[in-house]
Structures are given as C-alpha cells and as structure tokens.
Amino acid sequence: MARKMGFIAVLAYVIYGLLMYWYLFYLADSSLPFEFQGSSADPATFLNSRELMLSTEYSQIRNLLFFLSTPLEWLIYFLILLVGLSKAFHKWAGETTKNKLGQGAIYIFWLSLFAYLATFPLSYLSYHLSRTYNISTQSFGSWMKDELIDFWVNFAMMLVIVSVLYWLINKSKRFWWIFAWLLTVPFSLFLMFVQPVVIDPLYNDFYPLKNKELEAKILDLASQAGIPAEHVFEVNMAEKTNALNAYVTGIGSNSRIVLWDTTLNKLNDDQILFIMAHEMAHYVEKHIYIGIAGYLLLSLVGLYLTSRIMNWAIRKWGTEFKVSGIHDIRAFPLFLMILSLLAFTASPLSNFVSRYQETRADRYAIEMTEQPEAAIATFQELTKAGLSQVNPPFLVKVFRYGHPTMLERISRIEEYQISQRNNEASEGIPAPEIND
C-alpha cells in the first residue's frame, strides 16, 4: 500500500509539473492589451529587443521553478513518512541520547538536513538562473553561506516550535491548536521586533545612509508621515544582486527605514523619495498591524484544519506513515506538509489583500511626492532591473504577486496624471511642462 501511495504521489507531481510547463510556456498569454501599447506601461518603450526577450525567458523559467518548489516540499515530506525515514530519524535520536529535548533536536536536525538536501537541486537551479540572467551577482560561496545561515536559523526556530507544539499536544490532544495559536501572537511580535537587529544582519551589513542630503529628505518625508525614524539605513546588496528594493521593517523602537545600495546607485533622488513614500504609507495606514491580524486569523483557521486533517490522515494511513498518533513526533512531517498545503491554498487571498494595500501605498506616495514622472520611471527601472513581466499570466499573478502588476501600477499613475491635468484645466491653471 505504501509503495502504491508513493508511486501515485510521484506520478501526480510529474503530471502537475508538465501541466504547469504547458501553461506557462504555451497557453498563458502575457501580451500587452492593445489599449496599452505605446503607453509608458509598454515594455517596448523602455526595454530594448534583447531585454524584452530575456524578460520573457527569465520570467517563464522563474515562474515554473516557483510552481514546482512548494509541491516538491509536500512530496518530500510525504515520502519521508511513507519510506520510514521519519521513524528512522526518531530511532537515531533515541539511540544517541535519553534526554527528551536532545532527542527532539537530533530528530529535527536529520529531518531538516534531508529536506534541505532533497530541495537543494531546485534551489541551486534558481540561483544559477539568476546568475545566468545577471539578476544575481552573488558568488557561489556567498550564496552557500546564506543557505547555511537559512538552514541554522530555520533549525533553531523549528526546534522551538516542535518543543512547544508537542508539549501542548501531550497536554491537550483535542485543543492543542488553540493554545498553539495563542502562543503565535507573542512569538510573531517577538520575531518582528528582533529581525532588523538580530536576523537581518546575519546576511548583510547595515549602516547609516552615507548620502546625508538624501537622508534629510527621507527623514523629512518620515516626519510628515508621523514615522519616528532618526536614521535611514543602507544595506550592501550590490555584491549579491542587481535588483532594486527598499523597505520599512520592524516594530516599536526597532523600526528601520532601509535602502538597498543598488537602489541608491540606479535611481535619482525623486525616484527614491517616491519609493520611500510608498513604504511609509504602509506604516501610516497600519498595514503591518493589519497584516499581523490577518496572519493570526489565517493561523487560527490553519491550525484548526491541520488538527482535523492530521487526525483523519493518521486514522486512515497511520500504519503506512508508521506513526501511532498526532502526539507522535514522527508525524511532524505530516504537520509541515498540511500547513504548507494550506498556506499555498490561502496565498491567492493573502496576495489579493497585499495587492490592495500596495495599490493604496502607490496612491499615497504619488499624492505625497507629486512626481508622477519619477514614479513611472521608478516602475520602469524596477521592471528592467528584475527582468519582470509587465503583464504576467493569471495564475502567476494570483499565486505569486503580492504587488500589483507593473501594467496596473504604471497605468494608474498615468490616470492620475490625466486627472490632475483635467483638474488644473478646469481651474484655469496652466499645466506644468513635462520633459520626456
């Protein structure tokens, strides 16, 4: 029975991969609607023919890797259960030490190591793709260093989660999911508080913005937005990527305004101020706290469903999975698989909410800076630097995009321009001259 289940799972993954390949490379339409051709959103107006070709190629392959990666995790955890690896990890842990915490640490180490090695080829393909298309500038050694940091950070967090989770399950097999959810509130807030000062510096060096004139402009915007920031931080990303980014991170006294040095190198001050105004909008409109609330709501539903599905799956296939019950740590791969499956299923909803918030942030930024030309140029540069599709396929947008598409973002700025000109014309105010 276990062999048959494993064969069906592998076959289903292969068929799914072929269908996604067919959809992304042959069925999906990412061409620009006729009414936008020749507009500022038309990539043909700001990318050359080679960049247009590379953008299409890179986006198709990158999207395929995305759609293959998460289901691969499900398959790996499923096979770990079926072939008895979870049972073997548990046995090795028991033979190594009698200490319960030590056994949990050893079990999680072997599980994490096997899952990492199984997904490594796909991770390396993603890295190699970025290098090939000149998105990534990171050396293999530097990339492996980040991978190892990821491994140990994830291991540490997973060890804490497993220790608390199985303590709760053994205390209350019926309502453990409620107590686990209650603990996610302080845990999530703690992670958000320490991330800017503990976790992020493990990967990159952060230092105060060197351009003090630009920093004064950004802090002036922050003051207008009511953000209690005293410094703007710069992070050295040029040695790793050609992509552009900026963000506001952390909560409370650990809040930080951060600019990638690639953004500083490729954009002018007006463009950078537009990006920073966009990021500040998330603070002003409390998107961070709305996001936390949404995450906690989804976590509550997710943990409840995970509890129900795990109990059902173990009753039905406990023998094949070689686990005795939900309290058995050998069932942890099943927990991870179900939670990942539910998160992927919920991603269209969370992405929809995120795109709405990003649209609001774009609107706030353009009204704050009143520089529509700079905003359009910024989006064009972001598209060029990341070889992004201006109008991605439907499934890509639904499952991958937490931001509006560049077609939507640029066209909205153009609509804002038209609206402003019409208002000025109706009030008898001469329209400002626009230099293309």
Per-residue pLDDT tens digits for 71-95: 999 999 999 999 999 999 999 999 9
What's the confidence (pLDDT) of residue 147? Answer: 94
Share of the chain above pLDDT 90, in %: 54
Question: Which string of b and e fits 59-81 if b means at least 16 CB within 10 Å?
Answer: bbbbbbebbbeebbbbbbbbbbb
What's the confidence (pLDDT) of residue 210? Answer: 86
Reading the block at residue 432, the tokens are 């400002």
Q: pLDDT band at 252, cuts 50/70/90? A: low
What's the confidence (pLDDT) of residue 436? Answer: 41
Per-residue pLDDT tens digits for 322-352: 888 888 899 999 999 999 999 999 999 999 9
Q: pLDDT band at 434, cuts 50/70/90? A: very low
Per-residue pLDDT tens digits for 100-112: 889 999 999 999 9
> Of the listed 73, 234, 279, 358, which one is catalytic?
279
Q: pLDDT band at 381, cuts 50/70/90? A: very high
Q: Where are the domains of the chain?
A: 2-24+49-205+284-426
What's the confidence (pLDDT) of residue 76? Answer: 95
The answer on pLDDT for 431 being more than 70 is no
Per-residue pLDDT tens digits for 153-199: 999 989 998 999 999 998 888 899 999 999 888 887 788 778 887 88
What's the confidence (pLDDT) of residue 428? Answer: 61
Q: Tell me the pLDDT of the chain averaged across its residues.
A: 89
Residue 279 known to be catalytic: yes
Per-residue pLDDT tens digits for 288-329: 888 888 888 999 999 999 999 999 999 999 888 888 888 889
Q: Other C-beta atoms within 10 Å of 5: how many?
A: 16
Q: pLDDT band at 435, cuts 50/70/90? A: very low
What's the confidence (pLDDT) of residue 1? Answer: 76
Q: How far apart are CA 343 and CA 378, in angstroms?
A: 32
Q: pLDDT band at 363, cuts 50/70/90? A: very high
Q: Which carries the bigger pLDDT value, residue 300 or residue 429?
A: 300
